[in-house]
């Protein structure tokens, strides 16, 4: 059963996943390169981008849990810690961060793809490895843009708001 804080943590982490690519794509060449990479790897662009979103959300949940942060404390989470979780955690470790139920059917669908890829092995495992590198690269691009301020979750959302990518409800 998903606790209210765990459900809130997932929603906040999923939001990072949804905003990550629009933030990176402020430099249009990055989107073109990502699309080229996805096609070269044999991953459909739409499916690959949804997997990147859910991968980023799972990495954020894993990093928050490693740091013993609640959803209310997530603002202090380092984007570098999320990037490290994206490439440093096994797929099965990341799946632990999934909630039992989803508010957004798109998240549920992407989580299903992630589960399927992680169970298949072979080429699917290779795809997850490639996607983990893409998530890490995107997070580090955003972290580098935040200098001289710290590259935290809170600063990421401030940058997204300033860029017009995120509007706080």
Which three-class secondary structure state does DSSP give residue 19? helix
pTM surpassing 0.85?
yes
pLDDT digits (tens, 9 = 90+) for 105-161: 888 888 888 888 888 888 888 999 999 999 999 999 999 987 777 889 889 998 999
CB 58 within 8 Å of CB 113? no
Nearest-angstrom CA–CA distance, 81 and 90? 15
12-30 pLDDT, tens digit each? 999 999 999 999 999 999 9
């Amino acid at each position: 059963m998903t606790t209210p804080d765990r459900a809130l943590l997932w929603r906040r982490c999923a939001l990072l996943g949804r905003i990550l690519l629009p933030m990176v794509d402020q430099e249009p060449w990055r989107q073109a390169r990502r699309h080229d990479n996805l096609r070269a790897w044999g991953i459909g662009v739409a499916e690959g981008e949804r997997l990147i979103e859910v991968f980023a959300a799972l990495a954020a949940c894993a990093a928050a849990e490693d740091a013993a942060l609640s959803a209310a404390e997530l603002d202090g989470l380092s984007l570098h810690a999320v990037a490290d979780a994206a490439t440093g955690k096994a797929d099965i470790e990341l799946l632990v961060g999934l909630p039992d139920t989803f508010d957004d059917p798109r998240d549920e669908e992407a989580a299903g793809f992630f589960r399927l890829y992680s169970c298949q092995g072979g080429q699917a495992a290779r795809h997850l490895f490639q996607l983990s590198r893409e998530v890490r690269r995107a997070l580090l691009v955003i972290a580098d843009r935040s200098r001289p301020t710290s590259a935290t979750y809170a600063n990421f959302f401030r940058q997204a708001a300033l860029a017009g990518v995120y509007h706080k409800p």
